[in-house]
Structure 1
Amino acid sequence: MTKQTYKKIVLAYSGGLDTSVIIHWLKENYGSEIIAVTANVGQEDELIGLEEKALKTGASKFYLAEIEEAFVYDSIFPALKAGAVYENKYLLGTATARPIIAKALVDIAKQEGADAICHGCTGKGNDQVRFEMGIKALAPEMDIIAPWRTWDITSREEAIDYAYEHNIPLKISRETNYSKDKNLWHLSHEGLDLENPLNEPKYDQILEMSVTPEQAPDEPTYVSITFDEGIPVAVDGKELDGVSLIKKLNTIGGANAIGILDMIENRLVGMKSRGVYETPGGTLLYFAHEQLEMITLDKETTQYKQDLAQKYANLLYNGQYFTPLKQALDAFVDETQKTVSGTVKLKLYKGNMIAASVDSPFSLYSEAFATFDEDNVYDQNDAAGFINLYGLSSVIQAEMKQKVQFAKEADNSFGLTQEGIKA
């Protein structure tokens, strides 16, 4: 089958195994001009040398899209405000980044007049959906190339073989060939020994953002986080922009073994997969935000928002970032966050988080009403009338059941009497 021809292809380039191989493969199979685009979402040292490597392996041009701030304010913080956690564990470190990267790819593709966008996601994963849903929403006319769904390479081992055969430099070896995704928010590890749930993760070998609980300090660490309308704005009283704040909390959380997760999750494509996630700063932020909402949101809003949070998490996980429902949910969440301002003090100890104090000018907690001591604001006699009305439906239901039971017993008694007469 003859392949579609393209003048220019924009490649989502990370410099890892897949995309290192893909540049050569695209030129070999399409003969097109390849423009490598790396999105800076906070992967730090992984950005070193990428431009040189991309150009040496066949790219005609390299872009470093500086989208770290957009990643934080357009994706991470909205998810944080929503309380979005996938399957009650995963803080969506990869899922939150993909839509923002997709937008950067589309922007550069349009700027360059490219015919297609290429990504290195496998046909088994979630990221293929996330990237392509974003591209389709922002540039429906753009063709998408996904080599893992079309080429003859069937495994990461074969991809390494291809790299060696074509003198493509790699940063990994066969023994350290974990599939990783790193950004400002998290670091994920998949593959190799982690594919067998019987294997305990080799934390001493794989952790990069965190230490193990055994390596954490023997004394607790205290940290205060201040929020303004649901958005974190300061750590220990020092105001910081979003990027700097997360980096600061990554350092604090990582040093105390916060945010290490070993999870088997349900992928969008239907299979289960296992990953080890490191999200030190994010875990602190979610926990602190939850503590603040406890005293600033009323009961009905809290409980409704908890239901919404799961839907929001599913939307992000499933690549539905650029959808009307996502926009509508954001509007609801923003309304709930107008009073979520204040400071939360946390006590950290060997992977554990404890809320030490919570303070907010919008606190709905009233010591005067809640106290067990004598007070002048609450008449406990009022509770009797409240309970009578609150329990009225239960009383009516119980009376009905008593009447039905009495009737049944009367019928049974009459039947036995008749039988006795006949006898």
Structure 2
Amino acid sequence: MALSAKDLRGKLVGVCVSGGLDSKTVSKRLVEEGVQVLAFSADLGQPDEDDIQNVSKRMATCGVETVIVDLKAEMAEGCFDVVRCQARYDGGYWNTTGIGRIVTCHGLVTAMQKRGVQVLSHGATGRGNDQMRFERYTNVLAPSMLVYAPWRDPALLKEFPGRSEMVTYLSKFGIEAFVGPKKKYSTDANLAGLSHEAEDLESVQTPMTIVDPEMGVWPKDAPDAEELVELTFDGARCVAVNGKRLSPLEVISLANTIGGRNGLGISHALENRIIGTKSRGVYEAPGMELLGRALEYLYQAVLDRRAAALFAHLSSLVSNQIYDGRWFDPATVAARKAIHELTKTASGVVKVGCYKGNIHFHSLSDVAASLYNEADSSMEASDGLNPVSSQGYAEIQAVEARSLALAGQIAK
């Protein structure tokens, strides 16, 4: 049963906030309803937020205390998980928002439980994916915690049909708020990348190039010279960049900088939403693209054909589970464990070149588990595979081929 604002009286409500107009409006409206409100915001290393502490200052004008939860290290680990699983969604874009919701929900729900919060309130709309993600993760992580979705509350939707009504409401209390100029699109950000959607991007007649990249540049504006990057992996985790050992957070941050300035990781998709509709988005994930493509080259060296096929299946499953808000489901956990088993030998140094949105392979070195043998693969005389030995294998193959043909099972 859906909760309304009136149902929240007498309960401690944890409101997930960004400090924007929606957050202020919902929080103030609940306070005026007599609800005890505590705001929570996640620091995910989002590149569009200069000072996360400003969220507390903005929310204080509504008479609400805000708890800032530092989740940058957890977000970096989430990035590493996505890269290891090669978790891309529709159109091949990196699952940045999906992993961000996992980290946010786990971090904020945990913080809310410590404060005795009984109801989690999220600001997701009733038309998108995030409402499902926030609610499923709350149900999984804290089954006794209730969920309030203000933008599915008929009373609030009637009272605040648009942003101008929110501004008028807040101005009655002297709370600064502006509608601002109409945006070309909206942006959701975290350490892994940016998702741009809505407004002008809702029309498929609008080119993706209306987006002004925030984590880098369009490929055409990238330098004219190729930038070489050396990435060291240990068990499918990048532990060093250009020979310097770094923490996961430092790796992702540096990869974002390098990838961004070279125009990497900008993509477009008409994706399939959880609720069955399609959504259009333009995505930035420069660091994920750099690390992910480099690791892919390493996987090609250490995974045999059947292992690679199994990995591809598991990767697709994990990507869909991330998107659908099912990170903690048994199927996801099992798939991730299998991926860890398949990729535990993916260690070595990968050198790539970044050039105007492209990543060029340069070299692999120190890959102890590599299955590639130059002598076996050579077309020239070598000490590798004896070509005469293939005669027997060809004859065995011929038995089945002739049987199929003589039985009339081959379409000609």
Does the residue aligned with 2:408 lie in a helix, a strand or coil? helix
Q: Which residue matches 1:93?
A: 96
Aligned match of 1:251 in 252, 257, 261?
257
Amino acid at match of 2:146: D
1:53-104 deviations in Å (ceiling 9; x for gaps): 1111231x2111111111222x222222111111251211110011221122
Q: Which runs of 4+ in 1 moved over 6 A?
A: 154-157
Letter of the 2:85 counterpart: A
Q: Please say if 1:304 is aligned against 2:310.
A: yes
Deviates more, 1:314-323 or 1:217-226: 217-226
1:213 paired to 2:242: no
Say if 2:389 is the partner of 1:385: no
Structure 1 227/17 Cα, relative in aligned 2: closer, same or farther at 3 Å?
A: farther
TM-align CA RMSD: 2.2
Output the CA distance in 2 between the equivalents of 1:256 and 1:232: 20
Partner SS for 2:132: helix
Distance 1:324 1:163 in 2: 44
Give the structure 2 partner of residue 173 of structure 1.
180
What secondary structure, in the 3-state scheme, does the structure 1 residue paired with 2:97 have?
coil
Residue 78 of structure 1: aligned partner: 81
Decide which moves more: 316-325 or 165-174: 165-174
Matched, 1:372 2:349: no
Q: Secondary structure at the match of 1:198?
A: coil
Q: TM-score, normalised by structure 1?
A: 0.89
- 1:322 maps to 328
Aligned-pair distance for 1:128? 1.0
Q: How does 1:151-170 map to 2 (within 5 A)?
A: 151-153=155-157, 158-167=162-171, 168-170=175-177
Instruction: Report the Cα offset of residue 300 of structure 1.
Output: 0.8
Question: SS where residue 334 of structure 1 aligns?
Answer: helix
Of the three residues 402, 407, 411, the one matched with 1:400 is: 407
* Corresponding residue of 1:288: 294
Q: Deviations over 1:265-318 (max 9, x none)?
A: 110111111111111101111111101100111111011111111111000000
Count of residue pairs brought into register by the alignment: 400
| Structure 1 equivalent of residue 15 of structure 2 | 11
| TM-score, structure 2 normalization | 0.92
Residue in structure 2 matching 1:231, options 237, 243, 247? 237
CA distance in 2 between counterparts of 1:231 and 1:100 reads: 19
Alignment correspondent of 2:110? 107
Relative distance call for 1:250 and 1:90 in structure 2 (3 A) is same
Counterpart amino acid of residue 335 in structure 2: L
Residue segments in structure 1 that go unaligned for 5+ positions in a row: 406-423
Distance 1:62 1:8, change over 3 A: same
Residue matched to 1:418: none
Q: Is the 8 A contact 2:11 2:36 kept in 1?
A: yes
Superposed CA deviations along residues 168-220 of structure 1, whole A, max 9, x for unmatched, are 445772322632211101011111110101011344x6321111222211111
CA distance in structure 2 between the aligned counterparts of 1:42 and 1:155, rounded to whole angstroms = 34
Structure 1 residues 209 and 126: CA distance shift in structure 2, 3 A: same
3-state secondary structure, aligned to 1:339: coil
Contact 1:153 1:159 in 2 (8 A): no
- Report percent identity of matched pairs: 33
1:51 aligned residue: 56
* Contact 1:92–1:317, Cα closer than 8 Å, also in 2: yes
Where 1:94 maps in the other structure, the secondary structure is helix
Conserved in 1, the CA contact under 8 Å of 2:228 and 2:352?
yes
* Aligned residue type for 1:135: T
Amino acid in structure 2 at the alignment position of 1:266: N
| C-alpha spacing 1:169/1:386, structure 2 compared with 1 (3 Å) | farther
Q: Which residue in 1 is equivalent to 2:203?
A: 196
Partner amino acid, structure 2, of 1:15: G
Measured in 2, the distance between the counterparts of 1:187 and 1:46 equals 17
Q: Specify every segment of 5 or more residues in structure 2 that has no aligned partner in the other structure, as ranges.
A: none
Q: Which one has a bigger Cα radius of gyration?
A: 1
Match of 1:140 among 138, 143, 158: 143
The structure-2 alpha-carbon separation of the partners of 1:171 and 1:200, relative to structure 1 and needing over 3 Å to count, comes to farther
Q: Distance in 2 between matches of 1:254 and 1:240?
A: 19
Query: Residue type of the partner of 1:52?
Result: K
Quick check: 1:257–1:280 contact (8 Å CA) kept in 2? yes
Equivalent residue in structure 2 for 1:126, among 117, 126, 129: 129
1:21 deviates by 2.1
Distance 2:146 2:383 in 1: 71
Separation in 1, partners of 2:125, 2:360: 40
Q: In 1, Cα distance between the equivalents of 2:319 and 2:204?
A: 25
1:225-284 Cα offsets, whole Å, 9 max, x none, are 111101111111111101111110111111111111122111011111111111110111
Instruction: State the 1:355 CA deviation.
Output: 1.0
Do structure 1's residue 66 and structure 2's residue 70 form an aligned pair?
yes
Q: Distance in 2 between matches of 1:307 and 1:344?
A: 24
Identify if the C-alpha distance between structure 1 residues 156 and 325 changes in structure 2 by more than 3 Å, giving closer, same or farther: farther
Aligned partners of 1:235, 1:13: CA distance in 2, in Å? 35
Counterpart code for 2:63:
G
Q: Which moved more, 1:296-305 or 1:176-185?
A: 176-185
